[in-house]
Structure 1
Amino acid sequence: MRQGPLAGRYPAVAAMVTLALIPYLALSAAIDPLVPVITEQLHMTAQAMTLSSGLGNAAYAVGTVLAVQFAQHLPQRRMLVAYAVVLVVGSVIAAAAPNGPTFIVGHVLQGLATSMLLIAAAPPLTIGFPRDKLRNTAVIMNMCVFGAVALGPFIGGAQAEAGAWRPLFWIVALIALSALVLAALTFDDAPAADLDAPRDLPAIALATVGCTAAFVGAAQLTSHEFSDVAVTVPMLGGLALIVVLIVYQFRARRPLLTIRTMLTSAIPVAGVGVALFAAAASVAATALTATVFLQSFSPVQVGLLYLPELGGAIVMAVVFGFVISRRAMHYLPLVGMALLAAGIFVFRLALPANEGLALLGSALTGLALGATVAPALFVAGFSLQSNSLQRVFAIIELLRAVAAFMVAPIFAHLATRVSDDLVEGTGIALWVGFGLAIGGAVFGVAVYVLSGARPQKPDLDEFLDGDSPAWYSPPLLARLRRSLPVPRATVGSSAPASRRVPVAPGVEGPVLFGYDGSELAAAAITRAGDHLAAGRDAVVVCVWQPVDVGFTPVAEPHFDADRASEVRLAAERTAAHGASLADAAGFRACSVAVEATPTWKGIVGAADQHDASLIVLGPHRRSGLLGHLQGSVTAAVVAHTAVPVLLVPAGAEHVDRVRLEATSAANG
């Protein structure tokens, strides 16, 4: 396998990713103050410039899907070098453009190459190096995306003040060339991801046509009304095609994008939702206010007003690197949404020309952007196995591009149409952005609460090894849904999967024992042996959840309840202990550990999966108001299953006997 001289060296790979992502993302924020200069020198209209930005953003969105498809069938590192070449070519074409059409072609190539580089390079940087590098990667990813965007208004304003635009574009081309050189120096040949994967041409077509139409329609708002056919048909039609793409990928047997996995799991939905709300709301805090400030300040002064945004992004990038291995990571996007709402509110007070409040609003917005989108992206990614990270990034960047880049012209149109006074119209649009920020926070919290999701410490070792997600994410809206898919079961060490013998027609199914490691549950197993025929097959199930655990470990050393892998192993050992009790009581038992919440769903699901003919439970007696409010697992099982349920209350003598046997076993 061919390698470059810097292959596998983290600093060089990180620098390559940084230089690859900065050019287009910085330009996307820097180009607004340069519009008058570019249109004059290239003889373009304002509508043509808006169309150029729209097509570039559409190419950025489409590139996420193309990069995933190419990664399946083509050598990934070779494609990375090819994407860097396209970025250089596009940057040179844009910088040297003699006319408007040539400039648009170059800008579209820049957008396309940037997103493909992001999807191809960022996941390997995240999971291709040891865990101790992940904190640095988090900081780099945050700064690549939002540091570049935050710096954009200043460098754009400085160039506009000088009455030139080509120097900036040539600097961008030089940065892109540096990224290409590093891509070659860090080259480490790697095969295609999956040569047997289908070539999903319908997905690519839907993404290409949908994004292009939607962005072109939104760009028409510069010179058309919202009700014009030139706006509504492509914009709404394009959005409809994007929805069709999502539904198609959700239902596909072998999808290109992991839509089904993400949209049926609580934490990824919350993460993606917060990222989209933040992307849409942040437009109101930057692009709209800049238009008003330009009426009172020069372009470079406006750029200086937004410079604290860069400082805020840097601070929050460092914070993100600190919390990425902690439970606090779940709370960071929520804090970011609160900061974003505060920043928009301060910007509203700063209109039309309060410098102090503008600087404060800029700093708050920078902190907010650093705390929301990139952390939300990793929150979603950690909820799936690491081999899905590339596709997770692709989905989020596709949807984020639609949310952020399409909203900008819509907000600008709203600000000019809702009132004849630009300041008043911008203020109304800012309140809409404020509502989006609050709505995003409420959405994220609601998904967690209604799904039973809990903030957990990520198990980064398991995630980076590819064995499992970094934490447990319950099914979406699990607390509201009465019928869920059968929970995923893992067989304990006491019995292999082959012990789960299929039940033939006319043959009585196994007895299923719900075992939580308590003395009452153990006594129920031993007493059931006195009442049921000896030699029957039995399944002992222990239901577990990260954080809450859900059972009492049997002879278990200390383990970290935040680590799903440790809780699962403890549950398997506990279930195995219950199976040994069932064997001693005369059953032929195997053990199963089931990850589910609440507990009754795991028991009911396991009974269905194993075709149980009887469920045996040892009810826990509850007393007092709190006990009644908590409800009963046994009552919930009885209410939600058609399988007969045998409740075996244990008398004191049986509990004492179980306790004595456990003590004797522990003493050898």
Structure 2
Amino acid sequence: MTRKGPLAHNYPAVAAMVVAALVPYLVVSVALDPLAPIIARDLDMSTAQTNLAVGLANAGYALGTVLSVQAAQHLPQRRMMLIYTTFLVVGSVFAAAATEPVLFIVGHILQGLCTSLLLIAAVPPLVTGFPPSKLTPTAVILNLSIFGGVALGPLIAGVQVEANSWRPLFWVIAAIAIVALLLSLLTFQDVPAADHTATRSPVAVVLATAGCVAAFYGASQFLPGRSLDTATLAPLAGGLALIVILLIQQYRAKRPLLILRPLTSTLPVVGIVVAMSAAATSVPAVALTGVVLRDRYSPLELGLLYLPEFAGAVIAAIVFAKLFTTRALHYFALVGMLSLISGIALIAASVPPSTTRTLIATGLIGVGVGASVTPALFIAGFSLRNAALQRVFAIVELLRAVAAFMIAPILLYVAATVGDSPVEGVRVALWICLGVSAGGTLLAVALYPLGGLRPPSPEVQRWFGGESAWDSPPLLATIRRSTTRRPPSAGASPSA
């Protein structure tokens, strides 16, 4: 007889569990930068140690996407969720109660790793485990959980910095993690492993572990005032190379852990390009804005300047709920990227920006991220069967994490070292962000005609029935067809 918790099929309780599992680390990941000097002072940590804590926690977040999929294939999934939430509580308590650097670093790494494990383990069942009528509120919850929490991070950090403390925030985060654990118990349903016959993938796990740790460690060594040397560049380059090797190995594998081959058709690639472009530019753009404004405003005032980002994320989530089961899903992602580009351009055009310009720009960035990344996840997810959603989310989140958390410290280093002043360096870094977001947008838009495709409407009932929500043509199908149909060259015989 299958064991169940008293709230096993209660949608609000399951949704609340997902929110409580995701929000803590996402808030801390943004709030930690302004809080780092206070934490370093209280724990006697160096700048290198605080950067290491952030870098390895982000490595854990990226790595967790692969580990969660591997565990789900061979181990009871809901029992694993209980383990993940337990370690999330342990890590959060370690970080909040830390009296020395090592305990804080270990705790923060556990926060990043367990959040990613829970994202892949808990979110797909919330999407596919309830009737189609719940898909709309689920999409809104995911949007607000992932991007609403990130958008509130600067304001929460400002409140804590103004109070010259950091532990209250971390204890609140620990309390939310405990709520996630309790809800995991109350909503427990003993679900078997996804596929006992699946091939174990130790090579993929080793490549992902070594690649993420090395790459994010290298990125954490980009410290202002430190010259780049082999000790910094080698781990970064080697880690990125291992991640690329992982992707190639999984693409070529007969029974892969990460289903890359089905994601190489037109629409999944569009979704991945949009998600990576938005992540790679929004996170550093917000951080760079803080660099040039922190001397002009108090921490609380600076946090309030980012409040429109949260409002923008809320607006995007509401509109997304109305559009994401229609053809407009594709156009909404384009609107999101254009909004993100506009917000970054508004800041880059006048560094440091005025108060009004900052408020408008952060609002545009909030709309941009909320209207691009979540639609991108569904554009990729609808292209495959819903049974593959967990693996789709895993690969998209792995690439998004690499784009978001690895590029930000590099661009902050550029801002600190390029130009005659910090303002000039920030301006250069922001223009790089603008170029990446514009290039990603143009590429995503071009893939539709290159694939011979007009944006389709998702057939949600078909998707819940076990098929893909639409048919995604091969990548660059138009070019391939024209090459195949090209007439023989002059002088060649018809039978040649």
Superposition TM-score tier, normalisation by shorter sequence:
over 0.9
1:301 alignment counterpart = 301
Structure 1 segments unaligned to the other structure (5+ residues): 485-600, 602-635, 646-668
Match status 1:358 vs 2:370: no
Per-residue deviation, 1:639: 7.3
Alpha-carbon separation, structure 1, partners of 2:352 and 2:318:
33
In 2, Cα distance between equivalents of 1:422 and 1:219: 20
Q: How far apart are the structure 2 equivalents of 1:39 and 1:198?
A: 44
Name the residue aligned to 2:244: 243
Distance (whole Å) between structure 2 residues aligned to residue 384 and residue 196 of structure 1: 21
Secondary structure of the residue aligned to 1:271 is helix
Q: Tell me the equivalent position of 2:31.
A: 30
Kept in 2, the 8 Å contact 1:73–1:193? The answer is: yes
**5 Å matches for 1:556-567?**
none
How many Å separate the matches in 1 of 2:225 and 2:262? Answer: 40
In structure 1, the residue matched to 2:253 is: 252
Indicate conservation of the 8 Å contact 2:23/2:145, yes or no. Answer: yes
Displacement of 1:283: 2.4
Q: Is the 1:288–1:426 contact (alpha carbons within 8 Å) kept by the matching residues of 2?
A: yes
Q: Distance in 2 between matches of 1:114 and 1:219?
A: 20
What does residue range 338-487 of structure 1 map to in structure 2 within 5 Å? 338-466=338-466, 468-482=467-481
Instruction: Give the number of the structure whose alpha-carbon radius of gyration is greater.
Output: 1
Q: Does 1:149 align with 2:150?
A: yes
Whether the 8 Å CA contact 1:296–1:353 is kept in 2: the answer is no
1:118 aligned to 2:124? no
Contact 2:451 / 2:478 at 8 angstroms: preserved in 1? yes
Q: Which amino acid aligns with 2:84?
A: Y
Task: Tell me how far 1:276 sits from its aligned partner.
Answer: 0.5
- Whole-angstrom distance in 2 between the partners of 1:82 and 1:347: 43
1:226 Cα offset (Å):
6.1
Hey, what's the Cα distance between the residues in 1 that align with 2:303 and 2:277? Answer: 25
Aligned to 1:621: none
Q: Deviations over 1:67-110 (max 9, x none)?
A: 00000010011111111111101000000011111100000000
Q: Which residue does the alignment assign to 1:133?
A: 134
Find the counterpart in structure 1 of residue 43 from structure 2: 42
The AA in structure 1 aligned to 2:385 is: Q
Q: Structure 2 stretches of 5 or more lacking a match?
A: none
Residue 303 of structure 1: how far off its partner (Å): 0.4
1:274 corresponds to which letter in structure 2?
V
Measure how far apart 1:348 and its partner are.
2.2
1:483 to partner: Cα distance: 9.6
For the residue of structure 2 that corresponds to 1:8, the secondary structure is: coil
- Residue deviations 1:436-458 (CA, integer Å, cap 9, x gap): 11111101011111111221110
Code of the residue aligned with 2:47 in structure 1: it is A
- CA shift in 2, pair 1:312/1:483, >3 Å: same
1:282-306 residue CA offsets vs partner (Å, 9 max, x unmatched): 1232001101110111111110000
1:512 matched residue in structure 2:
none
Code of the aligned partner of 1:19: A
Under a length normalisation based on structure 2, what TM-score does the superposition of the two structures give?
0.96
Q: How does 1:541-580 map to 2 (within 5 A)?
A: none
The CA deviation at 1:311 is: 0.3
Counterpart-to-counterpart distance in 1, 2:284 and 2:227: 18
List per-residue Cα deviations over 1:534-579 (Å, max 9, x = no partner). xxxxxxxxxxxxxxxxxxxxxxxxxxxxxxxxxxxxxxxxxxxxxx
Which letter does structure 2 place at the counterpart of 1:354? S
Q: Matches of 1:302 and 1:309 in 2, distance apart? A: 12
Measure, in 2, the Cα distance between the counterparts of 1:206 and 1:224.
Answer: 32
Indicate how the Cα distance of structure 1 residues 224 and 73 shifts in structure 2: closer, same or farther if over 3 A, else same: farther
Deviation by residue 1:110-146 (Cα, 9 ceiling, x = unmatched): 0000000000000011111111110101101111110
Question: Does the aligned pair in 2 maintain the 1:54–1:215 contact within 8 Å?
Answer: yes
- Shift of residue 334, structure 1, vs aligned partner: 1.0
- Between structures 1 and 2, the one with greater strand share: 1
Change (3 A) 1:464 1:433: same
Name the CA distance, whole Å, in 2 between partners of 1:156 and 1:59: 22
Alpha-carbon offset, residue 374 of structure 1: 1.0
Match of 2:109 in 1: 108
Per-residue CA shift, 1:148-178, capped at 9, x if unaligned?
Answer: 0000000011101101000000000000100
Partners of 2:77 and 2:29 lie apart in 1 by 27
Contact 1:23–1:176 (CA under 8 A) maintained in structure 2: yes
More helix by share: 2
> Which whole-Å deviations, capped at 9, do the CAs of 1:170-224 have from their partners, x for residues lacking one?
0000001001111110001110011111110110010000010000001111157
Q: C-alpha distance in 2, partners of 1:283/1:81?
A: 31
Give the letter for the 1:399 counterpart: L
Paired with 2:298 and 2:473, the residues of 1 have a C-alpha distance of 52
Residues 157, 299 of structure 1: 8 Å contact kept: yes
What CA RMSD, in Å, does the superposition of the two structures yield over aligned residues?
Answer: 1.7
Higher relative contact order (CA 8 A, sep 6+): 2
Measure the CA separation in 1 of the matches of 2:220 and 2:181. 31
Counterpart Cα distance in 1 of 2:209 and 2:376: 26
Return the alpha-carbon distance in structure 1 between the equivalents of residues 68 and 338 of structure 2.
34
How far apart are 1:225 and its partner, in Å? 4.7
Match of 1:189 in 2: 190
Q: Which SS does the other structure have where 1:331 is aligned?
A: helix
Q: What is the letter of the counterpart of residue 405 of structure 1? A: F
Q: How far is the alpha carbon of 1:349 from its aligned partner?
A: 3.9
Q: Which amino acid aligns with 1:80?
A: M
Tell me how far 1:408 sits from its aligned partner.
0.9
Partner of 1:81: 82
Secondary structure at 2:477's aligned position in 1?
coil
Amino acid in the other structure paired with 1:33? P
User: How far apart, CA to CA, are the structure 2 residues paired with 1:57 and 1:94?
Assistant: 15
Deviation of 1:49 after TM superposition, in Å, equals 0.5
Q: Is the 8 A contact 2:274 2:440 kept in 1?
A: yes
- Give 3-state SS (helix, strand or coil) of 2:468's partner: coil
Residue 183 of structure 2 corresponds to residue 178 of structure 1: no
> SS where residue 31 of structure 1 aligns?
helix
Q: Which residue of 2 aligns with 1:313?
A: 313
Instruction: Report if aligned partners of 1:414, 1:425 keep a CA contact under 8 Å in 2.
Output: yes
Instruction: Name 2:21's counterpart in structure 1.
Output: 20
Q: What is the alpha-carbon distance in structure 2 between the residues aligned to residue 199 and residue 307 of structure 1?
A: 45
AA of the residue aligned to 1:49: T
Offset of 1:310 from its aligned partner?
0.2
